[in-house]
Amino acid sequence: MTKEAAKSEIQKLTEELNRHNHAYYSLSKPEISDNEFDLLLKELEVLEQKFPELASPNSPTQRVGGEITREFRQVTHQYPMLSLSNTYSIEEVKEWETRIHKLIGEEVEYVCEIKFDGVAIGLTYQNGILIQAVTRGDGVQGDDVTENVKTVHNIPLQLKGDGYPVSFEIRGEIFMPHTSFNRLNKMRLEESEEPFANPRNAASGSLKMQNSAEVAKRRLNCFFYYLPGTDLPFKTHYDSLQAARSWGFQISGYIAKCSTIHEIFDFVHEIDQLRKGLPFDIDGAVIKVNDLRQQEILGSTAKSPRWAIAYKFKAEQAETRLNSVDFQVGRTGAVTPVANLEPVLLAGTVVRRASLHNADIIAALDIRIGDTVYVEKGGEIIPKITGVKMEGRLPDSMPVTFLQFCPECRTALIRSEGESAWYCPNREGCPPQIKGRIEHFISRKAMNIDTLGEGKISILYDHGLVRNMADLYDLKQEDLLGLEKVYQDPDTGKERKMSFKEKSATNILSGIQLSRSVPFDRVLYALGIRFVGETVARKLAYRFHSIEAIRNADIDTLIDVEEIGDKIAESVVDYFLQPENMKLIGRLQVAGLNFSLNPDTIINKGTELEGKSIVVSGVFQLYSRDEMKRMVEAHGGKNTGSISSKTTFVLTGENMGPAKKKKAESLQIPLISETDFLQMVNEK
């Protein structure tokens, strides 16, 4: 076959396979059998192997994956991926709708949609070709998971039809259907692996796997619901979704235009009735202003758009019997009571355990072994007990009492004034605390050693190979080979075995080696300093630049850092006063971890904006809006999402929202142009 003939045949097969993919996954109307589809795919694969220069990165053959990703690249969103304001109250939806009318001052039409319980994703298309897929991340930047997303069959790699913008982004929700979830958990149990708690966790974990061929086996799905941007050829949100549907995107059929609050509630109630029969999880309904011009006028806060709200369905409830109560010790030493229940079906899964939170909750519920209890699962991995059914309580039953001694190391528990939790103070000798700190250290948002996990850390600890985080960096291949552990599955009660073979040992050591390149702010978070979460760790790292500078800072200096109060400052100072912590940091430094910022990432340039609250609005000539916001922080200023009497000035670009401009003028807040701002902070 000539190259020209091959090119023509590859194009023909690609178009035919894309059409069948769309018919099967998006329309649920397959036109050919699976075997016929596989034969066509094989034919295309053979041609691409023979003529590799003709193979497209968006070929249907890429759906099976194969790309190995060692680390997901961080990408800044062109438009921040904001979260929706949530409510469980019909009254709050009414108040939101009334507020919208007051702000707009004209007729408003709404679009109601279902709220998928999955993982948010933003896809960018250039000339109809998928070029990038990015997770929500922290809303400002997320992970590039393009190769994994290509394996989701109902996501178009190449758009069909015409009329789509040359370059645009579309957002949706990747989820795992119930059939895929049940199949996956069955396979994991057969392979002695921990089952996923729910489809959302399974989808999230699948999307971040390093091998896209493995992601392809998970059979994920995706619905799309939003096109961000100001240069779109539409006047309404509804029209943009209908256009996206014609380009090949899967848009939910559960969507309605509504003009009144009564029509909105009719939609919400209908979806609430239907949700139990859906083949995927949803957790509410979303109400959006339909007119894109009105959306622009309403704008957004720092966290969420004002033109949309999510109504969350109330958690499902079930009745079951309380058989016993266990007490678990976490990495901070907090002791948490967990109820063991008679198995009961709740929200699509069998529930055997539920949280009792703390001693005060147990006392308030007056809960007793043998009681019939009410259990809810409101988006939590571990459901919670919300009440006791007093009818049928045994006359000789005794209240559940909280422990006085640690269930693991028998140390007397303590409770600090003003706190609800009881703690085991034996930080260096209590096994679950030690293992918990190591598990936090290796977690994705910390050192991201995803080749390890809770079960494997337990094996290493039980065999005396690790007693703290630094011990991980001393592990060798021969230490790991042949290690195994038999344990009892807490959910099923069955015995399972976990063991280390050559491949898993190699992967573990490779993951540990890669963690040496993790940046300082994440290393600081990984140390597990009490009250120091991701955001605080980032603030400390970018303010002080090194672990030595943080260690030498006093409480007053720490409190000067934005978002850090007395409690956090005292915790940080106390951490560095403990000799064992300093010894640990010393060993980690010898292991090659980053305990100072890379000079290229130090963006603090001055204090010209110290103490000033600034709103950034509009489109700028020289920088993106996000870059302008980072520049504000780099010069000591504070970004705020909405204008108030406390706003120092508004940094304005083109197309600033008229409502914001009007409010700034009414409060006599100065409007500063891009040029004036750059001069103010001495930026060239």
> Which residues does the annotation mark as catalytic?
115
Residues written for the chain: 684
Query: For 347-416, where are the E strands, in sequence order?
Result: 349-355, 372-377, 384-389
Spatial separation of the C-alpha atoms in residues 654 and 620, rounded to whole Å: 6
- DSSP state, residue 139: S
Query: For 14-118, where are the E strands, in sequence order?
Result: 74-76, 86-87, 110-116
Report which secondary-structure segment, H or E, holds 134. Answer: strand 129-135
Spatial separation of the C-alpha atoms in residues 327 and 634, rounded to whole Å: 46
Report which secondary-structure segment, H or E, holds 125. Answer: strand 119-126
The three-point CA angle 394-398-402 to 5° equals 140
CB-based contacts of 478, cutoff 8 Å, min separation 6: none
Spatial separation of the C-alpha atoms in residues 94 and 264, rounded to whole Å: 10
- Hey, is 530 helix, strand or coil? coil
Distance of CA 383 to the CA centre of its chain: 20
Query: For 149-250, where are the E strands, in sequence order?
Result: 167-175, 221-226
The residue type at 107: E
Q: In the beta sheet, which residues pair with residue 135? A: 121
129 near 190, Cβ under 8 Å?
no
The three-point CA angle 495-498-504 to 5° equals 165
Three-state DSSP string of 616-639: EECECCCCCHHHHHHHHHHCCCEE
Query: For 270-413, where are the E strands, in sequence order?
Result: 282-289, 308-312, 316-329, 334-346, 349-355, 372-377, 384-389
Q: Which of 114, 59, 60 is nearest to 241 (CA)?
A: 114
203 near 174, Cβ under 8 Å?
yes
